[in-house]
Structure 1
């Protein structure tokens, strides 16, 4: 049995913070959620988002019901950092900075080693007052000049040392900052497993039954808020497919104004999707009715 995935509860919203869990939920369980975090390399845009992933309440309930996840809360995240934790963080940041300095110097060492022959050639050219760039030389070197270059003695060890000393010290303001996607010092005994009480109301129960029914039929489901519905339904992963249906959950006894139905049909037609109303039968099963805009008439499909 696969390991239980932890969902983090923060201010009544549920999140996934790790790429491994995000990928597993999407690939193995068709759970899409919504990425709401900015990417460290592209912070000033809202087209491509990153972790954390915020889950729909229906997704959380389904995953709990299937025994795939648990909802936890980290009480220590709600407390102001103590001095000991600040010291741990400072020490950790200093360790990362020293590692970057070491890696930068090692990389510079490798570069100088690979380019040493060219560096030596350039040094000899400077001594003779020649152009160091072959592209800028107007003519090829004659034999006498070539011999003169080869006769110039260069102390390779001193030259290597000089090249290494030219590398400026890395300033802390120039260091890369690690962006954590999980709390780096969390431990299993410092979390609390929380109860998840969704759905509660009749409308929430209708939404969940509809979501579960569509999910069990093999569809991918996301929030439908941007098109005025409850859910959007995809035949495959949303990365590869456009949604085909806008799902609107509605009580079967609820009176639906004509102007609202017309407006929703027009929107769904404009975005090339089918509007589907989901209701519960007397037996508690989910029933679907689809509507499409056809010229000046509304066509109803059962």
Structure 2
């Protein structure tokens, strides 16, 4: 089961492997919402967590491949556990435990630091080997350059040979720790307890069930998904969804889906605006409405007679 963590109505996936499964096996895209660890002050390229649309999260839960989870807040825990927890060991921000003022490192932290040191030494040896191979390949050229310099200065006798560069390399080579490659975790164990959320019922972290707009959007979303399309959010084009014939990494969207209740009037200016926008971005606008029996009807809008 894929864990989907809820936070104030947002559905987040923290594991890279789960994000891959969602896209590869279930044709659901979502959108990355986290900053990259090495470049946290930019938003051109984002990373985990993967933020799912409410319709995407509900679909995964409904077909039985994911479970919705929420974090149990401290005020919701048993007060008796709080009192007993004061006698237990806690964990500080650096990964060690605390007992009064004395910090006791965890075995996991010691193992991690040992692996980090072994990785650094391995990378240093690889860098040293690469530097040595480079100097060996350039040694003849370096010797020819030095001889030419001596000839240009009119030196007839060769100077005493300098210590070989390869012999000096072992002592002079420096590999800064900030340049080493480190493995960034793509998932972590939650630090607080979680509980399963029933997607059928509305809660503060999952307020969507029962809302008419969400129910209509979900019926449209599932019907398009069952037809084999890839679907993403469509707010940047003024619609509810963008509909792709294949993976959005390879295809442009063909349709802008606009969801509307079948018994509510749709202002003419909204229809004209949606049609003009779809024409400008070379996409077909779909007016989608879900009937009471679950059937979904589509009406396409396209400008005609334009030269």
TM bucket, shorter chain: 0.7 to 0.9
Change (3 A) 1:109 1:203: closer
C-alpha separation in 1, matches of 2:257 and 2:292: 20
Taking a change above 3 Å as real, the CA distance of residues 153 and 203 of structure 1, as seen in their structure-2 partners, is closer
1:22 aligned residue = 19
DSSP-derived class of the 1:293 partner: coil
2:49 matched residue in structure 1:
52
Q: CA RMSD in A?
A: 3.9
Q: Offset of 1:28 from its aligned partner?
A: 0.9
CA shift for structure 1 position 99: 3.5
TM-score in terms of structure 1 length: 0.73
Q: CA deviation at 1:120?
A: 7.8
Out of 163, 170, 177, the position equivalent to 2:169 is: 163
Q: Deviations over 1:231-276 (max 9, x none)?
A: 1111111111111111111112212222221111111111111111
Deviations 1:136-164 (A, max 9, x none): 7879xxxx98xx89x979799xx64x422
Report the Cα distance in structure 2 between the residues aligned to 1:133 and 1:38, rounded to whole angstroms: 54
CA contact (8 A) 2:234 2:242 kept: yes
Whole-angstrom CA distance in 2 between matches of 1:133 and 1:22:
60
Residues 232 and 133 of structure 1: CA distance in aligned 2, closer, same or farther (over 3 Å): farther
Partner Cα distance (1:226, 1:274) in 2: 15
Superposed displacement of residue 190, structure 1: 4.4
User: Do 2:127 and 2:175's aligned partners in 1 also have CA atoms closer than 8 Å?
Assistant: no
- The superposition leaves residues 99-122 of structure 1 with CA deviations (integer Å, 9 ceiling, x where unpaired) of 453134322442365457569879
- The answer to whether the 8 A contact 2:124-2:175 is kept is no
Provide the C-alpha distance between the structure 2 equivalents of 1:47 and 1:169, rounded to a whole number of angstroms. 30
SS at match of 2:297: strand
Task: Tell me how far apart the structure 1 counterparts of residues 92 and 67 of structure 2 sit (CA, whole Å).
Answer: 27
Query: TM-score, normalization: structure 2?
Result: 0.72
3-state DSSP class of the match of 1:86? Answer: coil
Mapped to 1, the partners of 2:147 and 2:279 lie a distance apart of 65
Unaligned runs of 5+ in 1: 297-302
Q: How many residues align?
A: 272
Counterpart of 1:193 (choices 182, 196, 216) is: 196
Structure 1 partner of 2:223:
213
